[in-house]
Chains A and B, each alone.
Chain A
Amino acid sequence: MEMIKNFFKTFLLLELVKGMALTGRYFFARKITVQFPEEKTPQGFRFRGLHAQRRYASGEERCIGCKLCEAICPAMAINIEIAERADGTRRTTRYDIDLTKCIFCGFCEESCPVDAIVETRVLEYHGEKRGDLYYTKTMLLANGDKLEEQIAGDRAVDAKYR
């Protein structure tokens, strides 16, 4: 009996027809493609994109050169050199992130005791030649200055979960 059933199942191609009915239905279904440059998917406030260095409201840079981010960075993308500034504080003379090495894990921003290095929501950036994605301290600070409002906003939303 089972054999006869299987025989007819095979020769009537029932399963194939069922499969084709499924794809046939989807042919007319509403398409879910997001047309990227014109349409964008929603972004979370914890999105980890391009890096930035923040400043205090007074204009003083936050980074104190503790090198925790450099130590934790799994891709070893961060390069820091420090020196004592005239007012006796420890500051970085060099703070580079190689974005071609960076894996955007967010450990640097987790480890930072003063919330100096952060990852912003920016994801549409590119380099046109070798070295363009090697971000130096001035570039990171410029990013921070430009995006401070959003960075601060995202940190405020996130604060209650920390």
Chain B
Amino acid sequence: MMELLQAVQQIGQDLLGPAWLPVWTVAKILVIVVPIMLTVAYLTLAERKVIGFMQIRIGPNRVGPYGLLQPLADGVKLLFKEIIIPTGANKALFVAAPVLTLVPALAAWAVVPFDVGMAVSNANAGLLYILAMTSLGVYGIIIAGWASNSKYAFLGALRSAAQIVSYEIAMGFALVCVLMASQSMNLGDIVQGQQSKAGLFGWYFIPLFPMFLVYLISGVAETNRAPFDVAEGESEIVAGFHVEYSGMTFALFFLAEYANMILIAALTSIMFLGGWLPPFDVAPLNMIPGLFWLLAKMSVILFLFLWFRATFPRYRYDQLMRLGWKVFIPLTLVWVAVVGAWMQTPFWLW
């Protein structure tokens, strides 16, 4: 795989000279963004199907075989719908907000490694970059809520901001544990650190199991998914921060939410479930390309996201805050100390 990439790069360099770099960068971006967009489209279908199945329904099955063309139909519908800008709205911010939510969700993928050395940017501070990007998403939501000039949108935005800021901390501490275990901020190195003879028992979700759960649950909260979807709260504040949005502007929020879900799934797989590593380093399993393992792990986590949504009722706002501040943050702090102490003993095997 690496030789092939190297060869392509060599040919391009000879052919285009200095113009090759931008071409190569755009190609790398497209190779990541296009599959993400397609995954987002089909994740919406998967969500409707999975939730339907869990409610003993069939889910969409009219557009194309088994409803497989449903995302396209939805996309076309949203594309052709009118974008209505409310009279009192701040026009520039109103239009900018959905873009601001989507861009960080996509930008964070720059440091995600898909296989050994297969990342757009092999940044050494990758983990920090991820934290920065995922927390930028909240600005889009706040701006959307404020620029809409609507009380529901504003309430949704306030809730969302408070929620994301609270869970960010727990998430950060959970990642501090990963950082301590792997001694690196480079996502590629974090995955490499989980490689061992023990296979899946060498992955960080074993020593950091509570952190794995905290990260997963905070991830659900970060992406404003059920049961932490008070920001949207369709049954109480209509649709929260994006109540005034329609057509393509609304679609961008939708894309951002799902892109974030996929991102969280990818990060969870990389940091706790060994990224591209096969569960056991034996003959038939380690022949399969690492990308497959990463995608498989992401699929499992995405399925969990949908499963959560089909199962749990929405958290009340105060319960949500209690969970974030009074359960997760103390828990993560304790575990940081535990891991720190554990690493000083000979019982630390990772």
**Residues of chain A whose beta carbon lies under 8 Å from any beta carbon of chain B:** 10, 13, 16, 19-20, 22-24, 26-33, 35
Contacts and interface: CB of A to CB of B under 8 A. Distances in A.
Report the contact-size class of chain B (Cβ under 8 Å from the partner): 10 to 19
B328 to A, nearest CB: 11
Contacts of B310: 23
B53 A26 contact: yes
B311 A19 contact: yes
Given A13-B213, A26-B53, A31 B58 contact: yes
B57 A27 contact: no
Interface string B293-316: 000000000000001101110000
Interface in B47-82: 50, 53-58
Nearest to A10: B327
| Closest A-B pairs by Cβ, 3 of them | A23-B54, A33-B58, A23-B311
A58 to B, nearest CB: 48
Contact of B53 (A20, A27, A35): A27
B216 to A, nearest CB: 11
Contacts of A27: 50, 53-54
A26 B54 contact: yes
Contact of A32 (B54, B56, B307, B327): B56
Contacts of A20: 307-308, 311
Contact of A31 (B56, B213, B327): B56
B309 to A, nearest CB: 10
A14 to B, nearest CB: 13
Of B53, B307, B311, B327, most buried by chain A (CB within 10 Å of CB) is B311
B307 A31 contact: no
A19 B213 CA distance: 17
A106 B50 CA distance: 40
Contact of A33 (B57, B308, B311): B57
